[in-house]
């Protein structure tokens, strides 16, 4: 199978590229090399891999492929609150450009468009879990741009007949994650003796999903050949931010006094939770469903 992957040198995208290359597939990776992209990766010399350094907003041609999997996105919520324009460009204008390029191809040669989205498009939920058909109510500019991208994908599916899949994943963690996200940042703080900053009182709940479980779920959808559907991808590993920080400090024999509570994020979501029964019906299940996996010990 031949993939065009956007953002394949970032965190989640790089794990997907690694997976499909191991499967013997071919990857054209379009990544504009932002601050969160990796200059070197172990498969750079793989004959089935090619990197194109370009912004998805500026692409004017798509090579033939079976799937276009769009990981390219600005993703840090705090950055979106401080300056949202770059999020609009990457997460909305970029997706529009990709859809237009697919629309311009003859119907028989169009790839399936897979949009990698987030559980944050739902907003928060105090009890229970969101299902794929539930309403979207994003709380911040980042999640709003991801929801807007989904609306574009759905509209192009209905109006132009473009085949698509949307995946919405929980909070990912694992190797190659940039140190602005909670777990990777907490590990770096614990290693260096710095305080771990937590918003509010640290009671906010997230579904912590190991990145390889996420990309396995995405790959399972592709293998099943499902189109024009939306899937939640998460592990059911609900933990507060405070518990996450305490667990990481314990790995390094550091005291909980190293946690520092800071001002709440504007528009803070209280709890994220996803019902993943639809994806599990395809035969997928997370391999790391509880606790936090110490990938740096591998």
CB atoms within 10 A of CB 198: 20
Catalytic residue among 55, 119, 207, 269: 119
CB atoms within 10 A of CB 168: 24
For residue 232, the SS3 value is: strand
Q: Do residues 160 and 103 lie in contact, with contact meaning Cβ atoms separated by under 8 Å?
A: yes
Catalytic residue among 25, 31, 55, 120: 120
Taking the mean position of all CA atoms in its chain, how far away is CA 269? 17
Per 3-state DSSP, what percentage of the chain is helix, strand, and coil (rounded to 5)? 35, 20, 45
DSSP calls for 26-74: EEEEE----TTS-S--TTTT-TTEEEE---TTT-------SEEEE----
CA distance 146 to 15: 21
CB atoms within 10 A of CB 264: 11
Establish whether 120 is a catalytic residue.
yes
Could you tell me the maximum CA-CA distance found in the chain, to the nearest angstrom? 61
Q: Do residues 56 and 97 lie in contact, with contact meaning Cβ atoms separated by under 8 Å?
A: yes
Taking the mean position of all CA atoms in its chain, how far away is CA 90? 14
Establish whether 119 is a catalytic residue.
yes
Residue 272 structure tokens: 């994220």
Establish whether 298 is a catalytic residue.
no
Catalytic residue among 49, 67, 122, 142: 142
Q: Computed over its alpha carbons, how large is the radius of gyration of the chain?
A: 19
Active-site residue numbers?
A: 119-120, 142
């Amino acid at each position: 199978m031949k993939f065009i992957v956007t953002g394949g040198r970032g965190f989640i995208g790089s794990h997907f590229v690694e997976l499909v290359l191991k499967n013997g597939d071919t990857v054209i990776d379009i990544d504009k090399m932002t601050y969160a992209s990796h200059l070197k990766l172990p498969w750079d010399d793989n004959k089935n891999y090619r990197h194109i350094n370009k912004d998805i907003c500026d692409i004017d041609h798509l090579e033939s492929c079976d799937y276009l999997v769009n990981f390219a996105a600005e993703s840090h919520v705090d950055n979106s609150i401080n300056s949202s324009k770059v999020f609009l460009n990457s997460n909305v204008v970029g997706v529009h450009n990709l859809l237009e390029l697919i629309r311009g191809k003859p119907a028989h040669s169009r790839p399936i468009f897979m949009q990698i989205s987030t559980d944050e498009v739902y907003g928060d939920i105090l009890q229970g879990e969101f299902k794929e058909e539930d309403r979207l109510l994003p709380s911040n500019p980042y999640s709003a741009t991801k929801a807007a991208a989904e609306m574009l994908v759905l509209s192009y599916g209905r109006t132009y007949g473009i085949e698509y899949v949307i995946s919405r994943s929980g909070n990912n963690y694992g190797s190659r994650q940039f140190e602005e996200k909670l777990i990777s940042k907490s590990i770096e703080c614990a290693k260096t003796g710095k305080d771990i900053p937590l918003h509010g009182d640290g009671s906010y709940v997230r579904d912590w999903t190991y990145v390889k479980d996420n990309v396995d779920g995405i790959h399972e959808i592709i293998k099943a050949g499902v189109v024009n559907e939306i899937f939640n991808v998460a592990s059911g590993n609900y933990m507060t931010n405070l518990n996450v920080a305490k667990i990481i400090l314990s790995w390094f024999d550091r005291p909980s006094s190293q946690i520092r509570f800071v001002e709440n994020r504007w528009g803070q979501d209280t709890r994220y939770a996803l019902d993943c029964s639809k994806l599990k019906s395809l035969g997928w299940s997370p391999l790391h469903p509880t606790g936090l996996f110490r990938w740096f010990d591998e």
